[in-house]
């Protein structure tokens, strides 16, 4: 499961790091170039750049999107009646709904987790519904479901709290090792540990693990739920039943990213190590978990996702302009190095009294200096002004909107596993 490529705070995006100065002395003088140049930051998610636009050139997944239900038999384990006698721990799980943060209390039991661990890990050939519907797991996660219901101000806030809670469980990068080395089920891809284990242990979870946990919570809250598998990018995400206009690629379910805080229905993002965006990739498999109620008010999130898309489009323009400026700076550095070379040659010629060579090298220096000045005035300066104007426009009109969305959905705060 690839690591979610998070957004870059705006304050870190435009770092003015380069001051150009040309110190040509001797035969002629040149005023120093002091205009700062922005560092290029990888674009976040505009189509064709960054995360959900990943790198250009990656073909979209074209595999089937048929809704199916996994029917592989689940393992059977005899329950241990002493689930609650082996110790417990009270935790608090962070969420933010509509910009208002809160915590959901939850008690985990060592005995329950020991029992759940006896089932082993989850693989792509397993019965997903049996895993999510494990009776012991469901029984002991049900208090969290009830606490979510009690915290919600309205029915659909139940979904918002559950989504945010799981998104804010930290990403367990160490578990990525399992994907590379775990070969205990030949021909099947490793997904991760059971949902209860993610809540019990303090390591966090990867995309498949967090998606199974969110699917369980949303199912028990009464929603229609599906799991999206993306084989090409080794990713798992959630679908929640929603009105058709908000559904992901005609599946009847709206896309929910569980890996990190992201606005429901937003699909212009990608992952570290991959090029494809979810907007350009089709799920290789959609597994229906439950046929419950619809997230009818998800239009609020959809509108915010559209706003985020427009913000990223503007951010992409700024990033492209910054890249153009940095390319011009590289060209200026090369021209300056050439001028410096001929200046040194002319100085050495003059010191030796070789006036014929001196005149030739001085001419070459003046030509190189003219080429530098032309590039600076005709190429670099216009590009820098374009970048500066785009950056100022973004700071004025789009950065505040981005900050508002980040605050509303907790995109940069509240990460943890349970206190």
Q: Where are the domains of the chain?
A: 3-54+315-409, 67-310
Q: Which residues of the chain carry a pLDDT beneath 50?
A: 3-75
How would DSSP label each residue in 168-232?
TBPB-GGGHHHHHH--SSTT--EEE--HHHHHHSSS-B-HHHHHHHHHHHHHHTTB-EEEEEEGG
In this predicted structure, what is the pLDDT of residue 309?
95
DSSP one-letter code for 173 = G
How would DSSP label each residue in 228-250?
EEEGGGTEEEEEEE--GGGSSTT
In this predicted structure, what is the pLDDT of residue 43?
28
d(Cα 308, Cα 46) in Å, to the nearest integer? 10
Residues belonging to the chain:
419
In this predicted structure, what is the pLDDT of residue 367?
97
pTM (predicted TM-score): 0.77
In this predicted structure, what is the pLDDT of residue 80?
62
SS3 state at 18: strand
In this predicted structure, what is the pLDDT of residue 179?
55
What are the φ/ψ torsions at residue 229 (nearest 5 degrees)?
A: -110, 135
């Amino acid at each position: 499961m690839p690591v979610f490529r998070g957004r870059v705070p705006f304050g870190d995006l435009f770092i003015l790091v380069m001051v150009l100065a040309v110190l040509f002395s001797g035969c002629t003088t040149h005023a120093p170039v002091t205009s700062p140049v922005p560092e290029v930051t990888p674009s976040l998610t505009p189509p064709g750049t960054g995360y959900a636009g990943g790198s250009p050139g990656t073909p979209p997944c074209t595999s089937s999107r048929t809704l199916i239900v996994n029917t592989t038999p689940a393992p059977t384990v005899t329950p241990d009646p002493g689930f609650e006698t082996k110790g417990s721990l009270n935790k608090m799980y962070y969420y933010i709904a509509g910009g208002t943060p809160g915590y959901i209390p939850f008690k985990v039991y060592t005995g329950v987790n020991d029992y759940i661990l006896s089932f082993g890990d989850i693989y792509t050939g397993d019965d997903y519904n049996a895993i999510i519907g494990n009776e012991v797991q469901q029984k002991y996660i049900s208090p969290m479901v009830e606490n979510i219901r009690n915290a919600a101000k309205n029915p659909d806030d139940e979904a918002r709290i559950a989504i945010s809670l799981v998104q804010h469980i930290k990403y367990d990068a160490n578990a990525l090792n399992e994907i590379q080395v775990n070969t205990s089920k030949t021909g099947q891809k490793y997904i991760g540990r059971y949902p209860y284990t993610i809540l019990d242990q303090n390591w966090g979870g990867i995309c498949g693990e967090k998606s199974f946990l969110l699917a369980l919570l949303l199912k028990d809250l009464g929603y229609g739920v599906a799991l999206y598998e993306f084989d090409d990018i080794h990713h798992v995400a959630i679908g929640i039943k929603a009105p058709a206009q908000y559904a992901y690629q005609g599946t009847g379910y709206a896309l929910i990213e569980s890996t990190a805080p992201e606005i429901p229905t937003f699909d212009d993002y990608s992952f570290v190590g991959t090029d494809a965006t979810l907007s350009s990739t089709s799920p290789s498999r959609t597994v229906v978990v439950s046929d419950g109620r619809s997230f009818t008010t998800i239009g609020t999130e959809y509108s915010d996702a559209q706003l985020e898309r427009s913000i990223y489009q503007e951010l992409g323009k700024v990033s492209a302009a910054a890249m153009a400026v940095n390319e011009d700076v590289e060209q200026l550095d090369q021209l300056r190095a050439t001028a410096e070379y001929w200046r040194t040659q002319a100085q050495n010629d003059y010191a030796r009294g070789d006036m014929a060579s001196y005149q030739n090298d001085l001419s070459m220096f003046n030509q190189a200096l003219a080429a530098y000045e032309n590039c600076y005035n005709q190429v670099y300066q216009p590009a820098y002004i374009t970048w500066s104007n785009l950056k100022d426009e973004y700071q004025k009109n789009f950065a505040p909107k981005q900050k508002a969305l980040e605050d509303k959905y907790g995109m940069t705060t509240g990460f943890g596993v349970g206190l």
